[in-house]
Structure 1
Amino acid sequence: FPDWPIRDPIPFLRSCLATWYNELEKKPASMSVELAREILSVDLTNEEHRKPAFFRRQYYKLAAKYHPDKNPEGREMFERINAAYELLSSESVNNSIMPDSHRIVLCLQAQSIIYSRYSKELSEYKYAGYSQLIKTIDLEAKDEALFIKGGGDLLSAAIELANYTLISSALNAEQLRRDNGLEALVTAFDRCVPMVTMSSNPDDMPVQVCIHVCDCFATAATFEACRQRLMEMPSIFGALCRLLQFSNLPRLSTASAQCIRAMAVDTLLQ
């Protein structure tokens, strides 16, 4: 994103959250597209049948035929006709009925931009999306398809946003700790660290996730309650030391070193 000005960051953040929630709440349609076409007698081999006007004509004709006021036994079919028309007349069938992971990633990235530019302005507000953000991190980190090509974009975007919210306010660090967000980050860390090798590239998803998690831990370590929780997660310490070896990935090794430095303020974490 270019460095465009954001006139009203707080209302914009609320809009991003609302759009994100609306996307997550989408559910599969009650019937398949194929069944909807069958109910409205749509034949895709006929060019005329592809037009919205044809859907409307079929809907009005069949709805009149099966309307319960005229056909007491037609209520079930009437409801199916309504459902079929609503499905087929959607602006975009695929995007309208199921959550779009790309749109969700954009919503998360937009929030990261807001927090990266207006951290001070947002510092007095507690981030409102932790419940869903932590759930997203946890589910994505446990996804069997995480390392398949194209996987992990959502996880990386979610963890990056988590770090920006932590930087903004101590209120957020405490909320993340209370909502078991540190545990979700450790789950992601434990899965991605072993995937980083000497042949890894800086843009590889596991590398990016590890960088963002290191940044999160470093920020969280500035708060005593978070440090106490980190003490209970011994797997992260060996993982952090392992990441120091990758001279071919300077951003990653630097993030790991900075994380270790942040934790070293606590005698027990040393």
Structure 2
Amino acid sequence: MGKSSVVLLLAVVASLLAGGTANAAPASSVVPAAYPVKNASTLTRNTLYSTGPLPATVCPERPVRAGSAASARTYLKALVRCLDVTWSAQFLKARMPFSMPKVKFITKPETVCGEKWRKSFAGLYCSSSKLIIVMLDRDVLSRPSDLFLMDVIAHEYGHHIQNISGIWGEYVRLPNRGKAEYYEQTRRHELQAECLAGAFIGSVWKSLDRPDEDWRYLLDASRRSGDENYKIRDHGKGKNIANWLNRGFKAASPSACNTWIARSAMVA
């Protein structure tokens, strides 16, 4: 799918949270790189990166019943309110204008934002309408107590943050020298959204009343959900998805999420 599309899709974890492990890379492994991003200050030096940690918002989770789309909607709507509070405060610190996204839930594939829904995806973001869509079908609802739903909504909200901070627009305008560079740029975009999701989850973690094992479980699943499972290499290897998710979580700050200056190996 081309960058001109208004839709950015998040791949469903292949086994909906199955094994593997991943650890965050040290901050020293992120260094400025000429390839493929240069002369793009909105990406590489965005004001958002210097705003410090996200506020430690209290965000208790609502109960979700297996197979219940209604309870999943209630759960996700509460998370969206927390995301609104957290990111609006961060944009206030950055002295950047903030706007909340719209959210829509569907239970079966349909055409959204001019695109036909693909079965292998759980969420998408339409940049032109600032709309997040989340799929709540039988597969997604089979194990709703896992952190998967939280990661999906926080990832798509991460795309909204990219959009309103100017990152999305400059990403779309990046030139490329062929398919390999185009896909690397796309992976930087997707991995940043995943890191921003991790930053949000880290900022509310203490209020979730969850054991650390739940976080490790999500990282395990992320490690198995990468481009190794698909023909198109546009989201990153599983180890890199888990790495950026965990970087964001540990820092609880967008400062950890500057994928645009990372070495190519970190966004492969």
TM > 0.5 fold call:
no
TM range (shorter): under 0.3
| Structure (1 or 2) with the greater helix fraction | 1
TM-score using structure 1 length: 0.23
Structure richer in strand, relative to its length: 2
Q: TM-score, normalised by structure 2?
A: 0.23
Larger radius of gyration: 1
Tell which has more relative contact order, 1 or 2 (C-alpha 8 A, sep 6+).
2
